[in-house]
Structure 1
Amino acid sequence: MKLPDIKEPEFKAPAHHVGVTSRVGTWLGIAFGLCFVTGLISHGVQHDWPWPTRPVNLYRITQGVHVISGVASIPLLLAKLWSVYPKLFERPLVKSVPHALERGSIFVLLGASFFELVTGLFNAAQNYPWSFYFPTAHYAVAWIAIGSMLVHIAVKIPVVRRTLEPRSEERTVLSRRAFLRTTALTTGVAVVATAGVTVPWLRKVSVLAWRSGSTLPVNRTAKAANVVVPANWRLKAGDRSFSLAELRAMPQTTVELPIACVEGWSQNATWTGVRVRDLVSGGDVRVESLERDGLYRATTLPEAFAQDPLTLLALELDGEELSPDHGFPCRLIAPNRPGVLQTKWVTSLEVTA
C-alpha cells in the first residue's frame, strides 16, 4: 500500500522571510563582533598584554561595551533563531558541502552563543552554578563562537548582500518591518534597562541594572576573603617598611578614578593616598594582599602604571578612611585597570624587574 505523501511544513510568516533573517543576522553579527573584540581586550589586560595608562576611562568603556553588546545579543539571537528555525525542517538534511558547512556552523554557533550569553549573565550577577573556571571557559568558547559565526557568514554572504540591496525583489514589506522594529525596540529596551551599570546618566532608568547605586559596590568583602589585619601591620615596600601612621604622614595625593569591574559595572570615586612611585621605583611591581587564597591576591603592576602620578596606595575613599571591605588599611588604585587588579588589603610592594 502506498503511503500518502507527507508535505513539508510551509513557513510564510513575515518573521521567516530571508530579508528579515539577513537584517537581524547583520545586527547580531555587529553585536557579537563588539562583544568578542572587547572581551578579547579584557582577557588580554588581565593577562599582561601591553595596556596604556591613559585615558583613565578606557577599560571602563571597553568593558562596558562588552557587557552591553552581550545583553543586546540576547534578544537579537532569539529573533534570529525564530526567523531561521524553519530551516530545521528542510529536506534533504544535507544538499552539498557548503550546505553541510552552513548547518554545522549554525549548530556550533547556537551552542557556543547560548553558552557565552548565559554564563556571561550569571557572571555579571556573580552567580556561578558550575564547577569550571569561568574566565578560561568563557574565553575558549568565545573563539569557537566567533569562528563558527565567520564560517556561517562566509556561506551566507551572497544571500545577505542580495537581500540588503535597496532594490532587491526580496525587499521587506510592512509586516516584516514590524517584526524588525519590534526586535530593534526589544534590544534597545534590554540595553537601556541594564546599561546603567556602566553609563552613569542611565542609572535612574536602568531598572534591571546590577550594582548601580550611589555608593561604591563591593565584590568581595573582607569576611569572605578571610582577611584579618594584624595589630602590628606594616607595609613592606622594597627594603623599607611603613606603619599606617607613617604612610599617613607622607605627602598625600587625591585623585578621582573609576573602579571598572570585569562584570561590567563601573563607578567613579575620590581616592587619597601615597603615590606608588614614592614608595618603590625602577620597574614592574608585584603587589601582594593580606588575602591568602584569592585568585587575584597578588598582581603585577607594570612599570608604566607604577610610575604614573595617578597610581596610589590609597588610604581614604571619598574623604573617609577605607573600610575593611574597601581594602583597609590600604589598597591599590591605578588608572585604566580592571577592578580585579586593583588589589585590596595590600601588605607588600616589591620591584620585580
Structure 2
Amino acid sequence: MRAPEERFESKLHEGRSAAVLGIALGVSFSVCFLTGLWSHFAQHPPSWFDFPARPAGLYRVTQGLHVVTGTASVPLLLAKLWVVFPHFVKLPPVRSVAHAIERLALLPLVGGSLFLLGTGVANVARWYPFPFYFPTGHYWAAWLTMGGLVAHIGAKLSITADALRRVPADPTLVRATPTDRRAFLGGVAAASGAVVLATAGGTVAPLGDLSVLAQREPGVGPQGLPINQTAAAAGVVDRARDRGWRLVVDGAVDQPLDLTLADLRALPQREAVLPIACVEGWSASARWRGVPVRDLLALAGAAPGAEVVVRSLEEAGRYGSSELNGGQAADADTLLALELGGEPLHIDHGYPARLIGPNRPGVLQTKWVTRLEVR
C-alpha cells in the first residue's frame, strides 16, 4: 500500500515550484499587508501619527494596490497549497520537536491566508455573511498571518534557496521538467493577471471595459460619480432637504457660527479636483467646489493647528463623524463642498454640504455635514 504522499503523481508537487510560488506570495502578501496597515492608520491614526494630507491621491494608489495584490494572491495561494499538499498528509505527521513547531506555525499562516483572502473578496463585493466587524477581524488576522509568514520563511529559507539553485543539493526538490514547470507557473501567473484585469477597472479607468468583476465603474452614478450609501439608506433625506438646515461651527472657537446654505454660498469658494477612494478599492476623481474648512475655522476664531470633528446628519452607524488633524484642516483643498462637477451636490453625494479632502479614505469624506466641532 502506497504512503499517502505517494498518491499524488504529478511531478509539479516539488520544491522548486513551491519556492517560486512562495516568493510570489511573500511579495504580494507583504505589499498587501503594508498598504492595509496604511489604510488602518488613515482610519484609526495612533496618537503619535498625523495622517498626511499630501500627496492628494496617495490613498487612492495605496488602497488600489492593496485590493489588486490581494486579488492576485488568490490564484497564487491556491496553486501553492496544491503544490505542497502532499506534505500535509505525509507520514509520520510529526518527526521531531522542531518539525512540530514548524507545523504549528502553518496554522496561522494557512488559516489566516484563507481567512484574509476570503473575507477580503467578500468585502470588495460588499457581502458580509460573517458575524464580526470586517476591518477589526481583518486587521488582527493580518498580524497573525504575517507572524506565521515570518516564521515559515525562517524555517524554509535554506530549503527555498537550495530549490532555486541550478543543481540543488537535494535532488528531490526538482522533479518536474523545466517545460512543465514553466507551463504551470505561467498558467498561475495568467490566472492572477486575469483576476486583476477583471477587477482593477474600479481604480484604473483604462481597464474599465475589461473589468467585468469590478465593484464600481468610474463615471457611473449620480453626477458621474459612484456612491456606496444613499441618503435614503442613511435615513437623512428629510433633514438634508429641510430648508432650516444649518452648519454649526463650535467648540474651541472665539465666535461660534450658525450658517445657512445661502450663507455658505456667499463665502469665498474654492475649486479642487480630488478623488473619492473607497476602502473596497474603487476610486474616481471629480471637480469639487466649496468653502475651505480652514476659512470657516478662521472665521470662527479657531487656533492655528486646531483639530476638527466633522459630524453628519447620519446619526446611526460607524461613520456618522470623522476627524481632521491640524494638517488636514489647514490644507487649502480640504473643503466643505457644496457643488460637484459645477452642479449643487446630489443628495446621495452629501447635499447640502459634505467634506472632501486630499488623501482620505472615502468613508472619512463625511456626507450631509451639519457640524464642525473644533478641538
**If the length of structure 2 is used for normalisation, what is the TM-score?**
0.90
Shift of 1:292: 0.8
Shift of 1:104: 1.7
Shift of 1:6: 5.1
Shift of 1:231: 2.5
* Residues 133-179 of structure 1, C-alpha deviations (whole Å, 9 max, x = no match): 11111111111111111111111111111112345465662111111
Counterpart residue identity of residue 246, structure 2 = R
2:253 matched residue in structure 1: none
Shift of 1:12: 4.2
Counterpart residue identity of residue 218, structure 1 = I
1:186 matched residue in structure 2: 191
* Residues 78-127 of structure 1, C-alpha deviations (whole Å, 9 max, x = no match): 00010011112211110122321222222321211111111111111112
1:310 matched residue in structure 2: 333
User: What is the aligned length?
Assistant: 348
2:83 matched residue in structure 1: 83
Shift of 1:13: 1.4
* Residues 255-279 of structure 1, C-alpha deviations (whole Å, 9 max, x = no match): 1000001111110011010111110
Distance 1:210 1:41 in 2: 22
Counterpart residue identity of residue 71, structure 1 = T
Distance 1:122 1:166 in 2: 41
Distance 2:357 2:69 in 1: 26
2:282 matched residue in structure 1: 265
Shift of 1:53: 1.2
- Preserved CA contact (<8 Å) 1:15 1:82: no
1:346 matched residue in structure 2: 369
* Residues 203-254 of structure 1, C-alpha deviations (whole Å, 9 max, x = no match): 1222211102413111111111111223211101230111001111111111
Distance 1:231 1:288 in 2: 19
1:132 matched residue in structure 2: 132
More divergent stretch after superposition (255-264 vs 103-112):
103-112
Counterpart residue identity of residue 266, structure 1 = S
1:240 matched residue in structure 2: 257
Distance 2:37 2:363 in 1: 16
- Preserved CA contact (<8 Å) 1:42 1:63: yes
Question: Alignment partner for residue 208 of structure 1, among 205, 213, 218?
Answer: 213
More divergent stretch after superposition (74-83 vs 104-113):
104-113
Distance 1:323 1:348 in 2: 19
Shift of 1:24: 0.5
- Preserved CA contact (<8 Å) 1:39 1:66: yes
2:235 matched residue in structure 1: 226
Distance 1:160 1:252 in 2: 60
2:29 matched residue in structure 1: 32
- Preserved CA contact (<8 Å) 1:112 1:144: yes
Distance 2:3 2:260 in 1: 82
Question: Alignment partner for residue 297 of structure 1, among 320, 325, 328?
Answer: 320
Distance 1:22 1:244 in 2: 62
1:29-108 map, 5 Å: 29-48=26-45, 49-108=49-108
Counterpart residue identity of residue 286, structure 1 = V
Counterpart residue identity of residue 29, structure 2 = F
1:279 matched residue in structure 2: 296
Distance 1:60 1:213 in 2: 13
- Preserved CA contact (<8 Å) 1:284 1:302: yes
Shift of 1:50: 2.1
- Preserved CA contact (<8 Å) 2:4 2:86: no
Please tell me the root mean square deviation across aligned C-alpha atoms, in Å.
Answer: 1.5
- Shift in alpha-carbon separation, 1:167–1:289, aligned structure 2, 3 A: same
Distance 1:210 1:142 in 2: 23
- Preserved CA contact (<8 Å) 1:98 1:155: no
- Preserved CA contact (<8 Å) 2:5 2:87: no
1:22 matched residue in structure 2: 19
List alignment gaps of at least 5 residues for structure 1. none
Are 2:347 and 1:335 aligned? Answer: no
Counterpart residue identity of residue 44, structure 1 = F
